[in-house]
Amino acid sequence: MDSYFFSEQVYGAVFAEDMCWYRCKVEHQSADKINVFYIDYGNSEAVSRSGLVELPEDLQTAPLAKKYKFWGFHVYSEQDSLHFQQGKAFLHNLIYGKKLRILKKSVCFDGTILVQAFQGSLNIGEEILKMKFATLSVPESPLSPRIKLDPSDPAGLWPLAACERGCWGDTDISRSTGYVPKLRPAFTDHREQEFKEKSPIKTLQPATSLKKKMDNDLLDENEQLRAERDILQQTKATVEHQLSQSQAELQRLREQAKNNCEELKKLREEKKATQQRTDHLEKQLQELQEELQALKKDFQQKVEEKDNSLETAVGDKLSRLAQIVLSVRELRESNHCPSASDSLLESIDEVVSGSISMPGSMERMKKVWAEYDQAQENVRGCGKKEELDQLITSRDEVQGRLLDAAGAFLQEVDGLPISERMEKLEVQKVNASLASYGPLTPGDSAEEAFDELRKWKTDTEEHFLCLRAASDSALEELCSCSLSLMKFFSLSENTSVCVRDMAKGVDELLKQAELKLWNEQEATLSFKVQGGQDTKIVASACQKLMHLIQTEQTVLCEVRENYIISLKFKEANQQWQDGPPKLDGFFSIKKHIRNLHSQLRWKLVEEGCLEEAEEEDLTQIMLKKEEIAETRNALFKEISKEKEEYEKLSSLIKDCYPELPLLYPEVDILGYMRSEGLLVRSLDRDMFEAEPMKELSGRRPLVCTDFKGRKVILKGYSVDDEAEARMLDQATQYHSAQIRSEETPNLLPILALFFGKSDPLGYVIVPYLSHGSLKTIQKTNPLASGEVARVMRGVVLGLEALHTVSVTHGSLHPSNLFVLNREQGILGDYDFTKALELRAVDSQMIVGSISLVAPELHQGSSPTPASDMYAFGCLLLWLNHPEFNGAMHNNKVNLDASLKLEPSLHILLTKLLIDSGRLTASEALTEEYFLSVHAQCEGK
């Protein structure tokens, strides 16, 4: 049976979970077990008698753990019951891992603290009561009302471990059933019985005796305190001494441990090094064993091969000799050695024997031609018509002598086989035999090089004849020895030759035959490769021969060119034997143009009258419109004929008759030539049936019309004399660049330029592009990133064409760029009446929030192709980021690091949007951004 202990004695016991000793009190004991309560942690368990020991007096102190119970209710179910386990799990979920607020209500006589617990605003006790895991134990009455819990009452937060140890209370049902802890009385003396036995009446003592007693008590107390202080100081000194000894011992042990660790580390390193050396030696030993095995195997194989070779030594020698004989026979049959030199010598003979030199008549003709050119230059530079006749007479005299010299030259050349000689020199066989010897190097003359080649050829042939004779002699001796062997081995014949002499002679003959044949073969093969001095001789001859061929080809080409020029000159002079050409045909075309122009104006007036009549006759109006269209087409055809006549006159001025502009100043041939055919004097504004284009008109009105069967745009500019000259000059420069870039048509062509006869306007005719400008496309249907790259590559090609002829565009903005099929970019023309400085700072030079004006222009510098490339870079940035609103620093675009740009595009922009050292148009085309686009276009 169990016995209970209510002693306050503190013991020590081993806790089963971690096998450590903790302080405890005995609660009760059974036959073989003692139930203990661990006073510092709040745990309980049953231990054996051997696991319980008594503790000294200094450990008999107050416990660290405190016992808590919920105030106002108790658990009524058994601990082993399902209901109790469910309640315990419910409480665990409410409080585990959470901060709780504890409200202290009272303290029982056994030290148990009664509390109310809150988790936030949640009353944990009420939640347990609601779930019926406990019953209320505080009766409610009018005299003692139920205490209301205030969640806002400021109480301290208790650790979770303390809450867990006390919240659920005593788990022993025999103690908790029907038990309500008694409240501690207000007075502090716990000994109730002693308090009750004291009498409330006490005898008063005299004051002197009371004072004496108090003094004695005070002295006793001081003595006791003094003794305790001495004991405390002795204890402190002892503890400090022990502590210093312990620290010294600890330091010694630490140093010893450190030394042991270092020694252990050294031993481990030595062990590791020893192991590595052992492994290395074992590996070397294994390699030596493998090498020894390989040497043994190789030695055995060589011994076997030697034994086998001794058995077949004679057969091997004869077989090797037979192979060399076959090889030399093939080389002799193919006659490979002398073929290259023979071919070279044949080429030398062909070139030297049939060469054609410069005709003497051509030299005489050149001198006369120089006099003729000077006479033409004098005529061309003449500014007065009075002096022109004398210069023309002098020119005609020189022209007659030139005709005689050209006739003699043509007659002499007709007797020369120029074409046949050119074909012979271009024979592929000769070129192929000379192509591998490199360029011509200075040295001896051609004749000396050719003589050295012939001498080398002769010496080489003699050397090969000697080698062949030696080979034939060695083989003949071997054959003679073979006959002697046949006689020796014939049993029917007797011979005086001994066996030793016969064997020695055969070995020597085989050796000599093999040596001679080997020498011939090596010489033949080395001649085929050609090296050393032999190669120099052949190469020198080849170079001299090639030089002769090239020199003669140059002469023949010059003769042929002069022949063609002389023939054309003779034919032209035969055509104009009576003097300079008359411009009757040209003036007839001009007269016809004026007549057609008058007819057109008259018919336009008739059409206007028909349209303004009171009774409108639609049939007559339509007929009149058809007549006007026919007249207009006929007029444009005549203007085309006029342009053809201008081209013929320009050719005559360049070739034969530079005096034509002075003879016919009213024709203005020089103006046509200066504009490179761009200026058309016969055109006028009223010739066109124009339709206004309001959607494209900005600063000046644009009209759409038909010109030579093509839909065009007619752009008019107000001009004075100075602006007219500037417009003609700048338009000609642009037109010249556009003509040179016809292979890559990325510049908007100018079809014609003319000045109004009845108004001070200059007109430019350009093709009508129905797809619209880049600005329009970006507003309606913006280009994708791939399309942007293709379009802007076309624009930079247009810039390259302009910059090649030193023309700066200066007006690069979205309204001046055009897009065809969303793939091809075309660079438009600019205002030819404006100076470059004004075009470059125009108000249209802005896109979005980006200024297209280069930073250096804000500082007063003149526009250059580099400023065009800056504007191009800004446009490229805007097309890829239309919403770009980056900061401008010193009038320069700063690339924002947050912009999501392709790496190749970012690299290109960083090279364009800089102050100096920008990419040129040609360099930009070699960047990866445009190379990939070009590769895609080539793939298509």
Q: What is the pLDDT of residues 337-393, one digit of tens each?
A: 445 556 666 667 667 677 777 788 888 888 888 888 888 888 888 877 777 778 888
d(CA 34, CA 2) in angstroms, rounded, equals 9
Give the pLDDT confidence score for residue 463 in this predicted structure: 73
Q: Specify the DSSP class assigned to residue 679.
A: B
Per DSSP, helices labelled H in 576-700 are: 584-612, 618-655, 660-663, 669-674
Distances (CA, A) of 924 to 269, 907, 911: 64, 11, 9
Write out the two tokens for 479: 């054959």
Of the candidates 341, 550, 338, 336, the one whose C-alpha atom is nearest the C-alpha of residue 450 is 341
Query: How large is the average pLDDT for residues 724-743?
Result: 86
**CATH number of the 3-59 domain:** 2.30.30.140
Out of 224-233, 517-526, 609-618, least confident range: 517-526
CA 341 – CA 452 distance, rounded (Å) = 12
CA distance 483 to 489: 10
pLDDT of 455 above 90: no
Exposure letters 5-30 (e unless 16+ CB within 10 A, then b): eeeeebbbbbbeeeeeebbbbbbebe
CATH class of domain segment(s) 68-185: mainly beta
pTM to 2 decimal places = 0.52
At 892 the three-state DSSP class reads strand
> How far apart (Å, rounded) are the C-alpha atoms in residues 877 and 796?
14
Tokens of 642: 């006029």
pLDDT score recorded for residue 502: 59
H-type alpha helices, 489-616: 499-529, 533-575, 584-612
Q: Alpha-carbon distance 776 to 769, whole Å? A: 12
CATH 3.40.640.10 fits 773-940, yes or no: no
Looking from the CA of 190 toward its CB, the CA atoms found within 13 Å total: 7
- Which of 727, 396, 353 is CA-nearest to residue 577? 396
Q: Which amino acid is at 929?
A: Y
Q: Specify the residue for token string 């038909």.
A: 706
Give every CB contact of residue 872 below 8 A, 6+ residues apart in sequence: 792, 795, 796, 799, 812, 912, 924
Which pLDDT belongs to residue 772? 79
Alpha-carbon distance of 45 to 51, in angstroms, equals 12
Mean pLDDT of 565-576: 76
Separation between Cα atoms, residue 83 and residue 77, nearest integer Å = 7
CA separation for the pair 672, 646 (Å, rounded): 7
44-47 and 52-54 strand pairing: unpaired
pLDDT at residue 710 is higher than 50: yes
Q: Is the pLDDT of residue 278 over 50?
A: yes
H or E segment at 736? helix 721-740
DSSP H/E element including 52: strand 52-54
On the question of pLDDT at 227 being above 50, the answer is yes
- For residue 580, the one-letter residue type is P
> Which tokens hold the place of 698?
């900005």
DSSP structure string for 187-245: SS---HHHHHHS-S--PPPPHHHHHHHHHHHHHHHHHHHHHHHHHHHHHHHHHHHHHHH
pLDDT tens string 283-307: 888 888 888 888 888 877 877 776 6
Query: In Å, how far from its chain's centre is CA 196?
Result: 103
Q: What does the pLDDT read at residue 596? A: 92
66-117 pLDDT tens trace:
888 888 777 766 777 888 888 888 888 888 888 888 888 888 877 788 888 8
Share of the chain above pLDDT 70, in %: 76
Give residue 391's pLDDT. Answer: 84
Residue 725 to residues 669, 712, 732: CA-CA distances in angstroms? Answer: 16, 24, 11
Contacts 24+ apart (CB under 8 A), 572-580: 572/655, 572/656, 573/399, 573/403, 573/656, 576/656, 576/657, 580/657, 580/659, 580/660, 580/663
Buried/exposed 285-322: b ≥16 CB within 10 Å, e otherwise? eeeeeeeeeeeeeeeeeeeeeeeeeeeeeeeebeeebe
pLDDT digits (tens, 9 = 90+) for 866-923: 999 999 999 999 998 888 876 555 566 767 656 778 889 999 999 998 888 899 999 9
Q: Are 530 and 484 in contact (CB under 8 A)?
A: no
Domain 675-768, what fold? Phosphorylase Kinase; domain 1 (3.30.200)
Residue 181: predicted pLDDT: 36
| Average pLDDT value over all residues in the chain | 78
Distance CA 891, CA 230 (A): 91
| Residue 686 DSSP class | G
Is the separation of the CB atoms in 737 and 747 below 8 Å? yes
702-707 and 691-692: which strand pairing? antiparallel
Q: Can you point out the beta strands (E) in 95-138?
A: 100-107, 113-119, 122-123, 135-136
Q: Which helix (H) or strand (E) holds 419?
A: helix 418-425
Burial (CB count <10 Å: 0-12, 13-18, 19+), residue 151: middle
Report the share of the chain in percent with pLDDT over 90: 19
